[in-house]
Structure formats: structure tokens, C-alpha cells
Amino acid sequence: MVTAQRSEGRLSSSGHTALTSAVTAPNYAPLPVVVAEARGAWVTDVEGRRYLDCLAGYSALNFGHGHPVLLRAAREQLERVTLTSRAFYNDRLGPFARDLAALAGMDQVLPMNTGAEAVETAIKLSRRWGYQVKGVPADRAQIVVAAGNFHGRTTTIVSFSTDDSAREGFGPFTPGFTVVPYGDAEALRAALTPETVAVLIEPIQGEAGVIVPPPGYLAAVRQACTDAGVLLVADEVQSGLGRTGATFACELEGVVPDVYLLGKALGGGIVPVSAVVSTREVLGVFTPGSHGSTFGGNPLAAAVGHAVVGLLETGEYQERAAKLGVHLRDRLEGLVGHGVQAVRSRGLWAGVDIDPGLMTGRAACEGLAGRGVLVKDTHGSTIRLAPPLVIEPEDVDRAVDALAAVLAGGGR
Ligand SMILES: Cc1ncc(COP(=O)(O)O)c(C=O)c1O
């Protein structure tokens, strides 16, 4: 075992990419960068090359790699107790849930692990609420979702995806979902029926390319849900927890949903932590035995999640994202017409549409990696920038300068 570890330590980047490709399922096409260490907004590969991480684990690393407060919380908890299951109480979950609920202005938390599990939980929650509280006839509940959505990868969630690559070959699909165009509040209102129990929506669509809906859209969706007696479930797994310059992207539109779905950054980039956060009335439809997870609410996750909530309570990260986000947008807009067709952003989160005549999003990402900046393409010609919120202002410039150079070089 020791020998095996030593030899792995000596593998080059190409050795690791070959090994990983040979022994893991081909459900990803990673850039050929093999990360060995990381701190803050920077990662280092096995050859010692440094890269600016402008993806931040798809926003799971909002506080950067190895944030000292989060590492301390994790280390201390590792020495105490890491897993109890929910068969017993632990002394970390209550304080974490109390403070997370308060941060969201809600009453209660249902802890899970991954974002997809939070979404699945919300689907079950909405259906049960629909039958018990709204009085929808058994097995008739409908949930309205938006085209272009990304809520995770389970069979039920991909059932209402509009992305063929996420669905192909995975049927039969789960019924009970109605898809409406994103950004069209009237279409959404028209889709609500007496059997609709919830609208499940991303306040900003991340995977779709940081699609920001028109001003007033979310507020109109909120009003439509209130009028029709339907739960508004905001999937803030990617948009939440500081990324957009506010704790929740809904806040930017003055909207309070009935249910928040959180994940990614809630685990501080250390452990998977997700949560469904809502009122006592709504979450109260669950009863013992009706839902659960072996790892959900474990003391290690709760300790790290609690430390994340503590960071967000300071407001420092939201402010930083808002301030640096203005700079990022100004700089990116300067590239429009120079290889960039359009830029959309909120806080430190930007979708950049590369001119497809110049290069693909993938080629842009490869070019950027060659210049020491890590980002990921989505949907062909869009690249998404989501650096850790701890990024230094000069590193924001460094990333945009690198993009400008890649575009000027036409991908070379
Ligand atoms: C909005 C949104 N919801 C849910 C998920 C799924 O989260 P996970 O990959 O942790 O299951 C994602 C992941 O990207 C997401 O962006």
C-alpha cells in the first residue's frame, strides 16, 4: 500500500489523466489539469504549475480552497465525532440548522448531502404539501419547471430536463412536471392549474450559461404562486450563499420564496452538505420514516456548514462579490465585439458567449488553462466564470487579460 502510494505520487499529469481515464467511467471530459494542492483562489498541479481557479467547484468553493475557519471547524470535528446517523441526536445539527434557518429568514432545515438530493426532497415535500394542505387529488400533483433548467442528475430530475444529453437513454421518465419557457412570467402563470403544487426554479440559471431573467420576472413568479396557492421553490444550490453579491439571488429581486434549496458552498468545499430550508408549516408535512438520509445532518457536515453560515453572517463575502463583480463585468464587457458576443453576470458569476466563428467554449477553456486560468465551458460556446469570492482584484484582471489574449490569438 505504501509502495503504491509512493508510485502514484510520482505520476506525471499525463500519467494521472491516462490512469483516471482508464479506471473511471467516461461521464466527464475534464481539462487535462491534474490538481494536487490548492489554497484560496489558486490550485497547483502535480508538476508544480499554478492556476487561478475561476470555476471554484461550480460555486462549491465560494470561500476558496482551504479557508482557515472552515478547515479549523472540520479538523476539530474530525477529532470529536463525524457520523451518528439520524437515529440519534448530535450536538452539531441543532445549532447549524438554527443559524441557517435564521440566515434564510425561515424556521426549519431538512439536511441532505448533494444538491440533487435537496431537489428530490423538495419534490417530495411539494407533492406531500399539495395532497395534505392544498387538497390536490392523490397522484395528480404537478410541478412547473423552466426550460433550460439544471437541478441535478437523478432519474426524476432529468425527467424534466430540456437538455437531450442529460436525458438520452435514461427513460422511462417520471411524470408530474410541466415545462415553461424561462423568463416568461405570463407563460408560467398560464401553466398553473388547481393541481399545481410548486414552481421549481433557479433564480439565475447557472448551467444554462448564467442566464439572468428579465427584471421583475421573479417577482411576477412569486405573485403568480401566491395567487394560485402554489409553493415557490428557489433552487439556490449554485446561485446562493454569496455568489451573486447577496446571500440569496432571490434577494436581488426582492423575492422571498417558500422554500430555499441550498448545497455546494454550504459544505465549504470540504464535505457535501445540502439543505431544504422553509417554514415549520411546510416542512411539517414530513413525518418520521417518510424521508431521510444516512449522512444528512451528520456532525462533520453540520460543523462545516455552521462555520459557512458564520462566514456569511458577516456579510463580507456578499459585499466582496458585489464589488468585484462590478469590476469583472466592466472588464468582460470590454471584450464584447473582440471575440465575445455577450456577457451576463451577477456578482462574481459570469456567462461569456464566445463568438462560435472564432472558437468553441472548450477551445477557449484550453487556451485559458494554457495561460494558467481554469474555467469550464457550457453549452458549446459559453464559458462560465465563478471564481472563489476571496479572489484578489488583480487576479480578476489576470483572468480577463488571459481571456483577451486567448481570443486575440484565435485559440492558438
Ligand atoms: C441549480 C442546481 N441545482 C442542483 C444541482 C445539483 O447539485 P449536485 O451536483 O450537488 O447534486 C446543481 C449542480 O450544478 C445546480 O447547479
Q: C-alpha 64: how far from its chain's center?
A: 15
Percent of the chain predicted with pLDDT > 90: 96
**pLDDT, tens digit (0-9, with 9 covering 90-100), for 86-143:** 999 999 999 999 999 999 999 999 999 999 999 999 999 999 999 999 999 999 999 9
Q: Which pLDDT score is estimated for 1?
A: 40
Q: Residue 411 above 60 pLDDT? A: no
**pLDDT, tens digit (0-9, with 9 covering 90-100), for 47-100:** 999 999 999 999 999 999 999 999 999 999 999 999 999 999 999 999 999 999
Distance CA 379, CA 377 (A): 7
Q: Residue 3 above 80 pLDDT? A: no
Residue 308 · residue 265 · CB < 8 Å: yes
- The alpha helices in 42-199, defined as continuous H runs, are 56-59, 68-80, 93-104, 115-129, 155-159, 164-167, 185-191
Substitution site in 113, 207, 211, 238 for ligand 1 pocket (most atoms within 8 Å of beta carbon): 238
Q: Which pLDDT score is estimated for 127?
A: 99
Query: Which residue has its alpha carbon closest to ligand 1 atom 2?
Result: 151
What's the mean per-residue pLDDT of the chain? 96
User: Three-class SS of residue 287?
Assistant: coil
Question: Does the CB atom of residue 114 touch ligand 1 within 6 A?
Answer: yes
pTM of the model: 0.97
**pLDDT, tens digit (0-9, with 9 covering 90-100), for 289-312:** 999 999 999 999 999 999 999 999
- Please report which confidence band the pLDDT of residue 7 belongs to, taking 50, 70 and 90 as the band edges: low
Distance 151 CA to ligand 1 centre (A): 5
User: Which residue bears the cell 451528520?
Assistant: 298
Calculate mean pLDDT across residues 243-270: 98
User: Three-class SS of residue 210?
Assistant: coil
Distance CA 394, CA 400 (A): 10
Q: Cell numbers of 333, please?
A: 464587457
Calculate mean pLDDT across residues 379-388: 94
Q: Which pLDDT score is estimated for 410?
A: 72
**pLDDT, tens digit (0-9, with 9 covering 90-100), for 12-49:** 999 999 999 999 999 999 999 999 999 999 999 999 99
Calculate mean pLDDT across residues 154-169: 98
Question: Does the CB atom of residue 376 touch ligand 1 within 6 A?
Answer: no
Question: Does the CB atom of residue 297 touch ligand 1 within 6 A?
Answer: no
- Per the annotation, the verdict on 264 as an active-site residue is yes
- Per the annotation, the verdict on 235 as an active-site residue is yes
Q: What DSSP element (H or E) covers 225?
A: helix 217-228
Question: Does the CB atom of residue 236 touch ligand 1 within 6 A?
Answer: no
Q: Residue 2 above 50 pLDDT? A: no
Calculate mean pLDDT across residues 240-265: 98
Distance 269 CA to ligand 1 centre (A): 14
Distance 334 CA to ligand 1 centre (A): 31
pLDDT higher for 330 or 410?
A: 330
Question: Does the CB atom of residue 119 touch ligand 1 within 6 A?
Answer: yes
Distance CA 229, CA 265 (A): 31
Distance CA 42, CA 164 (A): 34
Q: Which pLDDT score is estimated for 9?
A: 60
Distance CA 82, CA 401 (A): 43
Distance 329 CA to ligand 1 centre (A): 24
Which residue out of 150, 160, 248, 295 is catalytically annotated? Answer: 150
What are the angstrom distances between the C-alpha of 74 and each of 79, 251, 255? 9, 30, 33
User: Which residue bears the cell 401553466?
Assistant: 191
Calculate mean pLDDT across residues 317-346: 98
Question: Does the CB atom of residue 260 touch ligand 1 within 6 A?
Answer: no
Q: Which pLDDT score is estimated for 4?
A: 46
